[in-house]
Amino acid sequence: MSSLVSEKPPNPPGPVNNRKKIMKKLFTLLCVTSLAFAVSSCANKRKNQYAGVDGDYVNGTPLPDRKDGSAFFSDNVTKGQFSPVYFGLDSSSVSAGEMNKIDQVAAAMKGGSKTLIVAGFTDERGTDEYNRALGERRALAVRQALIDKGVNANLIQTVSFGKEMPADSGSGEAAWAKNRRVEFGVAK
């Protein structure tokens, strides 16, 4: 007796089978086009391209290149020489009451050649990303105020620590108010 082997007949040609072939070709074309676009986008990035569209600028003033050895928490940076500048909740505007601190920093730094590091901090509320951005906006606002007072823009660097490294680890408005700040470091 012979065994019966069931074979599935091949798909007959027709509109359904043709649509599958067309969709497969379109999918392949889409994948190849996407890959080509991704590769060409990477190839267009120029050497020395900066984070901003036209470079890193704040109010038309370019940010200086980072200097080696001038990290805010390094041993060759003096901190605590100037009083911190404090900010309101969710604010990066320097209040009139804090401008006298910026005047003191500007008076000490004008005409000098040392690098000033302006570090922005926030309180613990909000996401890491939001607080890093807010700390950066605070540092940039103080940087601009210092430039407006005559400090050389090429000698001011900014950094944001967001909610990391609070001045007061407590929770509550009194602690949060101490953490919404900008601190200064002067490279030796």
pLDDT the model gives residue 33: 73
Q: Count of CB atoms within 10 A of residue 166's CB? A: 19
pLDDT the model gives residue 24: 80
Q: Count of CB atoms within 10 A of residue 114's CB? A: 13
Beta bridge partners of 185: 79, 117
What is the tally of structural domains in the chain? 1
Q: Which residue has the tokens 């660097």?
A: 157
Question: In the chain, which stretches have pLDDT less than 50?
Answer: 43-59
User: 72 in a domain, yes or no?
Assistant: yes
User: 181 in a domain, yes or no?
Assistant: yes
CATH value at residue 82? 3.30.1330.60
pLDDT the model gives residue 46: 43
